[in-house]
Chains A and B, each alone.
Chain A
Amino acid sequence: MAELQFREALKHAIDEEMGRDERVFIMGEEVAEYNGAYKVTEGLLDKYGFKRVIDTPISELGFAGLGVGAAMRGLRPIVEFMTFNFAVLAADQIINHATKVKYMTGGQIDCPIVFRGPNASAGQLGATHSVAYDSMYAHFPGLKVIYPSEPGDAKGLLKAAIRDDNPVIFMESEQMYGMKGEVSDAEDFIIPIGKGKIKREGSDVTLVAHGKMYHLAVQAANQLAKDGIECEIIDPRTVKPLDLPLIIESIKKTNRCVLIDEAHPFGGLAAEVGFLIQREAFDYLDAPVQRVCLPDVNAPFSKKLFDAWFPSPKQVIDAVNQVTYRT
C-alpha cells in the first residue's frame, strides 16, 4: 500500500495504462505543457511526448468528437475536460455519437473512450461551474459512469475504464485532488466497474454515498457513532452499472436508509436508488427512505448562500434521526 493523493493515483493509472498500451493517449485543455489545470497529468508530457499527451484548444465539441472518431478507428483516447460543466458543449458527441455508434451499426464499430474530469461543485464558483452531471449521464444507455471517492478506488477504476471497450464517464472533484488515501501497489491493480464497497459496517442505518458526498457521510457517521448510532456506509463507486445487490443486502440488515447525492433532487441517483429499494426491499424497511441532496436551485456565489445550498453533515444526521425515529 502506498499513501497517494487522489491526483497522483489518477496519474499513476493513466501512466500505467499508457505504458502498457501504445493506443492510449490523453488530450484536453492544458494537459500537456501546463501539466494539467489540476496537475493530474503532471510529468506525462515529459514521459510520453507530444504525440500522446496533447493540448487542445477550448473546443470541447471538437476534441470530444475527435476522440470518438479516434476510438472508432482503434485508438483508446482519454479525453480530459477541465470540468464536466464544459463537457456540456460536447454533449452531442458523447450522447448522440459515442453511446450510439455501436448499436446503430449493428455492432460493427466499438468506441473505447474515457471522458474524465472534475464533476459537481468546488466551492464558490457560481452557477455555471457547479453542476453534478453523473446522474444525467447515467440516464443514457450505452454509458458507464464512475465517480469514486478515494484515491485507491480512483486508480483501480480508472485503469478499468481505460481498458473498457465502451465509452466511460469518469468523474473526479477539484476538492478531492489533494486528498490522500491508501492505494494498492499490486501490479495491475484493477477494480471492476460496477462493484460498490461497504466502507463502514454498521447495523442501525445504511448510508449510500459516492464521490464527494462519501466524505460527508463519513463525517455524519462519526458524529452519530458518538450517539450510539452505527451507520453502514456503502460507496457504490460506479453510478452505472449500479451495485444494487450490495445496497439491498445492507438494507436487509439495517432496515433503514439515507441516500446522499450531490445532485438536484429531480431524477438523480437518489431518486433512482430510492425507487429500486422500494421495489427490491419494501418488506424490509422500517421507515421511508430519506435523501440528502442539493436543493432545486442553481449554485449561488455568496459564501453564506453556498453553505446553505451545499449538503451538510447536519442534514445527513437529521435524515438519520428521521429514519430511526429519534426526532
Chain B
Amino acid sequence: MAKKKKEEIRFAPTGIGDVNEGAVQKGVDLPDATEKTHKDLGLSEEQLLAMYEQMYLQRRFEERSMQQYQKGKFGGFLHLYIGQEAISTGTTFALDDEDDIITAYRDHGWGLCRGISAKEGMAELFGKATGSSRGKGGSMHFANAKKKFWGGYGIVGGHIPINAGFAFANKYNANGNISTCFFGDGAVDQGALHETLNLAQLWKLPAVFVVENNGYSMGTAAARHTVAQIVDRAKGYDMKSAVINGMDVFSVYEKMKEIADDVRENSEPWFVEIRTYRYRGHSMSDPQKYRTKEELEEYKTIDPIQRLKTYMLDNELTNEDQLKEIEDKVEQEVLDAVEFADESPFPEEKELYEDMFAEDDPYFHV
C-alpha cells in the first residue's frame, strides 16, 4: 500500500491566497449596533451636532494631512485613523474630562478630541515649533497633558502597562477618575498586555483597556495573528468585558459610559474589544494586498460619519443646510491649519537639547 502523503507542516495560519479558505481572510465581524435613540442615551441635539463636527473634523484633518504628506510637506510615518472616528468621539463624550486617555501611534483623532487644535496638530505633523509636541514627536506622538490626553506611543503594546500606572495614581489619590487605554488588535499579542491585565485585576485598578480591533495588524488579518475571540482574553483574568460595534458612535457612547460608571463606582478594570475598520493602508506605503476592495467598500457603506448624518436627517434633528454649515466651518478650520503649519517656523536648533531633563541646564555627555 502506498504511504499516505505527509501533510505539509505549517505554523502561522495562512490568509492571502489560501486555496482552501478562499481569497482573503476577513478582518472582523461586527456586533449589532445599539437600537437606542439619542434620547434613550440622554444625548441632546446639540451634542449630536458636536459629535458630528468632531468626527468630520478628524476625517477632514486626516484627508488633508495625507495630501500634505504626498506633497512632501513632511516625512516619517503617517498612520490614519479614518474609519475609526466613532471610537474616539463616542468615548470622549462618554468620559469625564478629568479621565485619562492614552493611545498608540494612530493618535490624531484622539488628540483632536482632547483639545489639540487642528492648527497645533497639523503643525506637529509638519515638525513645526508651534506643534502640539513642539515638533519633537510628529504624527505618532500627539499629546495634550493639560487635557489628560497622555499621548500616542510607537512601540506596539508599550503604553498598556502605563495605563495601569495612571489607574494606580488615580486610586492612590482617590480622585474618582478612571484611566482608559486604546491599542490595536496587534498589540493583544504582546506580553505587556497580559502582565498588565493580571496586575490591574489583582489590584482592582480603575482602568479600561480597549482594543480597537480594525481587523488587521499591518498586513496580517486578526485571525492570522491571534487566537480565539480577543474579548475572551478577559475571562482568563476574571475581568469584566464587552464587545462594541465601533462603526456606530451611539454604540460606543452607550457602552463606554456604562463601563466608565462601573469602573468609577467599583474600582475594577474592564477589557473591551471595539470592532472597527481602517479605510487606509497601515501607514503611507502599504500596497494593501492582504484585503479585498470589496471588504473595504462594504465598510464604507456603514461609515460612522454618514451613519450619524443619516440618523439626524431621518429624525429631523437637523437639516442639510445646518450640516453644510458645520462641514464648511470644519473645512475652513482644516485649511487654516494647513496654512498655519506651512507658515510656522521650525524649532530653533537649540531646542534639540530642550525637553530632555527636568533641569534647565542639564548635563549632556560629549
Which residues of B lie under 8 Å from residue A85 when comparing CB positions? 155
Chain B proximity mask over A89-102: 1 for CB below 8 Å, otherwise 0:
10000000000000
B11 and A29 contacting across the interface, CB-CB below 8 Å: no
Chain A proximity mask over B217-235: 1 for CB below 8 Å, otherwise 0:
1111000111000000000
Which residues of B lie under 8 Å from residue A295 when comparing CB positions? 352-353, 364, 366
Candidate in B218, B220, B224 with the most chain A CB atoms within 10 angstroms: B220
Among B14, B187, B352, contact of A305 (Cβ-Cβ < 8 Å): B352
| B210 vs chain A, min Cβ distance (A) | 17
Closest B residue to A51 by CB, please name it. Answer: B9
B16 and A33 contacting across the interface, CB-CB below 8 Å: yes
Among B11, B289, B365, contact of A51 (Cβ-Cβ < 8 Å): B11
Closest B residue to A86 by CB, please name it. Answer: B155
In angstroms, Cα B141 to Cα A210, docked, is: 31
Closest B residue to A304 by CB, please name it. Answer: B346
**CB of A275 within 8 A of chain B?**
no
Among A32, A124, A266, contact of B12 (Cβ-Cβ < 8 Å): A32
In angstroms, Cα B14 to Cα A34, docked, is: 11
| A105 vs chain B, min Cβ distance (A) | 25
B218 and A89 contacting across the interface, CB-CB below 8 Å: no
In angstroms, Cα B190 to Cα A61, docked, is: 8
Candidate in A50, A54, A125, A300 with the most chain B CB atoms within 10 angstroms: A300
Chain A proximity mask over B5-24: 1 for CB below 8 Å, otherwise 0:
00011111011110000000
**CB of A281 within 8 A of chain B?**
no
In angstroms, Cα B75 to Cα A309, docked, is: 16
Which residues of A lie under 8 Å from residue B153 when comparing CB positions? 128
Within A46-99, the residues touching B (CB, 8 Å) are: 49-51, 54-62, 85-86, 88-89
A30 and B219 contacting across the interface, CB-CB below 8 Å: yes
With A126-B141, A296-B364: A58-B75 Cβ-Cβ less than 8 Å: no
Among the listed stretches B88-96, B131-139, B262-270, B304-312, which one makes contact with chain A, having 4 or more residues with CB under 8 Å of it?
A: B131-139
In angstroms, Cα B217 to Cα A66, docked, is: 21
Among A50, A88, A303, contact of B14 (Cβ-Cβ < 8 Å): A50
Within B281-339, the residues touching A (CB, 8 Å) are: 289-290
Chain A proximity mask over B64-78: 1 for CB below 8 Å, otherwise 0:
000000000011110
A49 and B16 contacting across the interface, CB-CB below 8 Å: no
With A32-B12, A61-B191, A301-B137: A37-B155 Cβ-Cβ less than 8 Å: no
Which residues of A lie under 8 Å from residue B351 when comparing CB positions? 305
| B123 vs chain A, min Cβ distance (A) | 10
| A27 vs chain B, min Cβ distance (A) | 8
A305 and B135 contacting across the interface, CB-CB below 8 Å: yes
**CB of A194 within 8 A of chain B?**
no
Which residues of A lie under 8 Å from residue B224 when comparing CB positions? 33, 55
**CB of A288 within 8 A of chain B?**
no
Instruction: Please count how many residues in chain A sit with their CB below 8 Å of the partner chain's CB atoms.
Output: 46
Chain A proximity mask over B171-214: 1 for CB below 8 Å, otherwise 0:
00000000000000011011110000000000000000000000
With A50-B8, A57-B226, A123-B75: A34-B346 Cβ-Cβ less than 8 Å: no
**CB of A175 within 8 A of chain B?**
no
Closest A residue to B289 by CB, please name it. Answer: A34
B365 and A305 contacting across the interface, CB-CB below 8 Å: no
| B19 vs chain A, min Cβ distance (A) | 12
B154 and A58 contacting across the interface, CB-CB below 8 Å: no
In angstroms, Cα B346 to Cα A54, docked, is: 43
B75 and A34 contacting across the interface, CB-CB below 8 Å: no
| B163 vs chain A, min Cβ distance (A) | 17
**CB of A264 within 8 A of chain B?**
yes
A33 and B14 contacting across the interface, CB-CB below 8 Å: yes
B128 and A302 contacting across the interface, CB-CB below 8 Å: yes
Among B129, B133, B155, contact of A89 (Cβ-Cβ < 8 Å): B155
**CB of A297 within 8 A of chain B?**
yes
Which residues of B lie under 8 Å from residue A57 when comparing CB positions? 186, 189, 217, 220, 225-226
B75 and A124 contacting across the interface, CB-CB below 8 Å: yes
Which residues of B lie under 8 Å from residue A37 when comparing CB positions? 218
**CB of B165 within 8 A of chain A?**
no
In angstroms, Cα B158 to Cα A123, docked, is: 22
B16 and A301 contacting across the interface, CB-CB below 8 Å: no
**CB of B127 within 8 A of chain A?**
yes
B76 and A124 contacting across the interface, CB-CB below 8 Å: yes
B352 and A49 contacting across the interface, CB-CB below 8 Å: no
Closest B residue to A293 by CB, please name it. Answer: B366
A59 and B190 contacting across the interface, CB-CB below 8 Å: yes
In angstroms, Cα B192 to Cα A60, docked, is: 11
| B80 vs chain A, min Cβ distance (A) | 17
Which residues of A lie under 8 Å from residue B259 when comparing CB positions? none
Closest A residue to B140 by CB, please name it. Answer: A126
**CB of A298 within 8 A of chain B?**
yes
Which residues of B lie under 8 Å from residue A30 when comparing CB positions? 218-220
Which residues of A lie under 8 Å from residue B366 when comparing CB positions? 265, 295-296
| A160 vs chain B, min Cβ distance (A) | 27
| A50 vs chain B, min Cβ distance (A) | 5
B218 and A34 contacting across the interface, CB-CB below 8 Å: yes
Which residues of A lie under 8 Å from residue B186 when comparing CB positions? 57-58
In angstroms, Cα B347 to Cα A37, docked, is: 32
Q: List 28 A-B contacts (CB under 8 A).
A: A30-B220, A33-B16, A34-B219, A34-B290, A50-B10, A50-B11, A51-B10, A55-B220, A57-B186, A57-B189, A58-B157, A59-B189, A61-B191, A123-B76, A126-B76, A126-B140, A126-B154, A129-B154, A295-B353, A295-B364, A296-B365, A296-B366, A297-B352, A301-B133, A301-B135, A302-B138, A303-B127, A304-B347
| Given pairs A62-B191, A128-B153, 15 additional interface contacts (CB within 8 A) | A50-B12, A51-B9, A58-B189, A59-B189, A59-B190, A60-B190, A124-B76, A126-B138, A127-B141, A300-B347, A302-B138, A303-B74, A303-B127, A304-B135, A305-B352
Show the binding face of A for B, using Cβ within 8 Å: 27, 29-30, 32-34, 37, 49-51, 54-62, 85-86, 88-89, 123-129, 264-266, 295-298, 300-306, 308-309
Question: Which 9 pairs, one residue from A and one from B, show the smallest C-beta to C-beta distance?
Answer: A301-B138, A302-B127, A302-B135, A57-B189, A124-B76, A304-B346, A34-B219, A57-B225, A55-B12
